[in-house]
């Protein structure tokens, strides 16, 4: 089904700020007809670390499929936890300000 504009459509969507604002991280990976799922996840993990301005751990290149999935999950949970923590801190701060005034 080559030449029908699939990549162009996805690229346009991927690059829109109005779409990206709904996600913490966006990673572009290329999936060929023959691929290794581990390499796809490895590429995503590396990309996420780079977006976070963190050093990519050296052992990423030797991680198993399961370890790569767990790393993706941990990265996602850290972000959610951070958001929750910020929300709770903000609520407490707002509550304290209300009590003080």
Sorted by where each begins, the domain ranges of the chain are 6-100
How confident is the model over 7-35, as a mean pLDDT?
A: 84
How much is the average pLDDT of 22-26? Answer: 79
CB 60 within 8 A of CB 41: no
Q: What is the pLDDT of residue 63?
A: 93
Please answer whether residues 43 and 29 qualify as being in contact, where contact means their C-beta atoms are separated by less than 8 angstroms: yes
Whole-number pLDDT of residue 56 = 92
Dump pLDDT digits (tens) for 74-99: 877 666 555 555 555 444 444 433 33
User: How many Cα atoms within 13 Å fall on the side-chain side of residue 87?
Assistant: 6
Residues 47-72 pLDDT 10s: 888 988 889 988 999 999 889 888 88
- Does the predicted TM-score (pTM) go above 0.85? no
Q: CB–CB of 35/58 below 8 Å?
A: no
């Amino acid at each position: 089904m080559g030449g029908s504009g699939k990549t162009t459509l996805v690229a346009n969507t991927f690059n829109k700020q109005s779409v990206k604002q709904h996600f913490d991280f966006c990673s572009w990976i290329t999936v060929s007809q023959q691929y290794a799922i581990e390499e796809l996840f490895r590429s995503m993990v590396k990309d996420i670390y780079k977006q976070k301005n963190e050093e990519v751990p050296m052992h990423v290149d030797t991680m198993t499929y399961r370890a790569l999935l767990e790393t993706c999950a941990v990265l996602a949970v850290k972000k959610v936890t951070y958001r929750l923590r910020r929300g709770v801190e903000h609520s407490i701060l707002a509550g304290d300000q209300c009590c003080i005034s």
